Amino acid sequence: MANGKTVSDSSLLQTLFNLWPYMWPTGRPDLKMRVVWAAVYLLVSKFVLLLVPYFFKWSTDALNGKMDLAGKVPDLFVGATALVIAYNLTRLIQLGLNQLRDALFASVGQHAVRQLAYKTFVHMHELSLRFHLERKTGGLSRVIERGTKGIETIVRFTILNSVPTLIEFLLTAVIFWWGYGFSYLAVTAFTVWAYIWFTIRASDWRIAIRRTMNDSDTDANTKAIDSLLNFETVKYFGNEEMEARRFDRSMERYEKAATDVWTSLGWLNFGQGVIFGLGTTVMLILSALAVQRGEQTVGDFVFVNAMLLQLSVPLNFIGFVYREIRQGLTDIEQMFDLLEVKAEVMDAPDAEPLDIKQGAISFKDVHFSYDPARPILKGISFEVPAGKTVAVVGPSGAGKSTLSRLLYRFYDIQSGSVSVDGQDIRTVTQKSLRSAIGMVPQDTVLFNDTVAYNVRYGRPSATDAEVKAAAEIAQIAHFIDLLPEGFDTKVGERGLKLSGGEKQRVAIARTVLKAPPILILDEATSALDTTTERDIQTALDVVSKNRTTLVIAHRLSTVIGADEIIVLKSGEIAERGTHAALLQKNGLYASMWNRQREATQAEEHLKQVREKDDMGVVNRLAPAT
């Protein structure tokens, strides 16, 4: 539905204007030729169409003996039979030309659809993380899907339907004027105008009714599903009757709206019939009187009727076409709106590629908030010297992951600076910056493809041997060998067929392939049990060797070896130092450490007990996370 937006004529023109470059694509002379030929066929077919009533008229006159054909038309057409054949032949030719036109134009329209879909898709990836976090991905793909369908609609109904109808109407008007006088033109024009005016008014009214119908349909559906989902609850409280009444009330609204949709269609059709019927009656009376006066032949009378009947065919579709165009415009507008959204983070005009030497990271007095009302980082300064490892720990929500998003430049900071090898990341290109950093996130999402595809994603040009080697380093090669199809096993949507630990190791393997100078590990092991964690930790230690590494961790046991540990709390650095120094300080870190050690000991103890009870088997069969 039109989303409550009214679509004016100017927006139709604007949309056609926006679409024009896609309909007349530069660098595609073949498509341009198709447009030209489609236009030629369109015109020719309309002229041929107008011949149809003429042949009808000539046949009638010939049958009446009112027509002296000799010398007027080629010999072939002489005789009523020949004229009847010609009449039907013209109709066939006209039909053929129309099909040719549609076929020619199809590839132009489809090319436009593909170009716009491509452009929108690329644009989606250019937009910032914030945009994507705030929009539902499903919603976005629906906008693209509807938008591309809207293009087809607009192309089909304006270029292939409305414009030809307009041409046909103009030609008809000219023929009436030229052949029968101004009054015929006036009546036709007035009838068509009244017809279109009425159709548009009635369609607007019907669009609103349809919306009510769709809404109540959705409402009834939701209620039914919700009620069935709560099957048990309904039984617990014996509320079947109440549920049925609730459902029935929604259906009652639907019943009324659906009835209205049909009645209104009846009114629309009837109104159209009345208007067109009046117009035809007036025209035929005019013609009949002229025949009586001897100014016109019976052939003329038949001609006028045939012309009007012919004109009524496209007019019949106008209500439908209008509705489709309106819907198409809304859908296309939404897609164009999407294309106009500017990316939040953009390369500076004079941005240069990052000149990476060893990948030293430096945060200087960084202040940042996602939302101005709530500061997240309040003056953070720290450095990760080239090749060293710095760990950031702290309670959940302290702003640890935010640090990694800032280093990737998903967001720009409000004040301070983030730099890599002495270059402020706002002065370099995003592409070069991101290619220098490898990230192993907490929740790895995989592409719905094979294991090999997902590992190779780190460097698409990698050979099979390199992919295998990366898997070895990430400690996942052994697991992959056990899979029935090895590297060619499909991982399922978002990687659901792999356990958390397995997905994590795939993520590590692809980072190994990328081989970046800088590595960020954002709670890469926190969701795993201790045994899996130890395996992955081994993998991570290998990968982070000689790389500048920022480790964000929840479990402190994984950061003991870091060159510096930063304790972040509510966006501020509460403590910093090595593991030993922080323990000695006996502050926040020390208390976190003690708490976690107790928890780990309890876990180990529980595990031993379970293994004794043989319960371990059950546990080991369960997924790791």
Ligand X SMILES: Nc1ncnc2c1ncn2[C@@H]1O[C@H](COP(=O)(O)OP(=O)(O)O)[C@@H](O)[C@H]1O
Nearer to ligand X (CB atom), residue 122 or residue 133: 133
∠ CA 216-218-221, rounded to 5°: 105
Query: How far is 341 from 339, CA to CA, in rounded Å?
Result: 6
Nearer to ligand X (CB atom), residue 62 or residue 439: 439
Tokens 């011949």 locate to 51
Among 161, 165, 327, 402, binds ligand X (CB under 6 A): 402
Query: How far is 431 from 450, CA to CA, in rounded Å?
Result: 26
∠ CA 186-187-191, rounded to 5°: 120
Query: How far is 15 from 333, CA to CA, in rounded Å?
Result: 7
Piece in contact with ligand X (CB under 6 A), picked from 166-174, 205-213, 400-408, 460-468: 400-408
Burial 194-222 (b: 16+ CB within 10 A, else e): bbbebbeebbeebeebbebbeebbebbee
26 binds, among ligand X, Mg ion, none (CB under 5 to 8 A by kind): none
Contact 494, 445 (CB under 8 A): yes
Nearer to ligand X (CB atom), residue 256 or residue 367: 367
Residue 397 binds to ligand X (criterion: CB under 6 A): yes
398 binds, among Mg ion, ligand X, none (CB under 5 to 8 A by kind): ligand X
Between the CA atoms of 269, 196, 90 and 37, what dihedral angle is there, to the nearest 10 degrees?
-130
Piece in contact with ligand X (CB under 6 A), picked from 91-99, 101-109, 329-337, 393-401: 393-401
Total of residues contacting ligand X (CB under 6 A): 11
Query: How far is 324 from 195, CA to CA, in rounded Å?
Result: 18
495 binds, among Mg ion, ligand X, none (CB under 5 to 8 A by kind): none
Nearer to ligand X (CB atom), residue 184 or residue 368: 368
Positions in 363-382 near ligand X (CB under 6 A):
370-371, 376
Residue 401 binds to Mg ion (criterion: CB under 5 A): yes
Q: Which two tokens stand for residue 244?
A: 């049925």
Which residue is closest to Mg ion by CB?
A: 401
Nearer to ligand X (CB atom), residue 458 or residue 571: 571
Nearer to ligand X (CB atom), residue 385 or residue 441: 441
Piece in contact with ligand X (CB under 6 A), picked from 169-177, 313-321, 392-400, 465-473: 392-400
Nearer to Mg ion (CB atom), residue 396 or residue 461: 396
Nearer to ligand X (CB atom), residue 443 or residue 472: 443
Amino acid at 424: D
10 binds, among Mg ion, ligand X, none (CB under 5 to 8 A by kind): none
Distance in angstroms between the alpha carbons of the first and the last residue of the chain: 44
Residue 396 binds to ligand X (criterion: CB under 6 A): yes
Helix H or strand E segment including 416: strand 415-420
Positions in 127-166 near ligand X (CB under 6 A):
133
Contact 565, 391 (CB under 8 A): yes
Query: How far is 211 from 214, CA to CA, in rounded Å?
Result: 5
Piece in contact with Mg ion (CB under 5 A), picked from 210-218, 319-327, 394-402, 486-494: 394-402
Contact 363, 535 (CB under 8 A): no
Binding site for Mg ion (CB under 5 A): 401
Binding site for ligand X (CB under 6 A): 133, 370-371, 376, 396-402
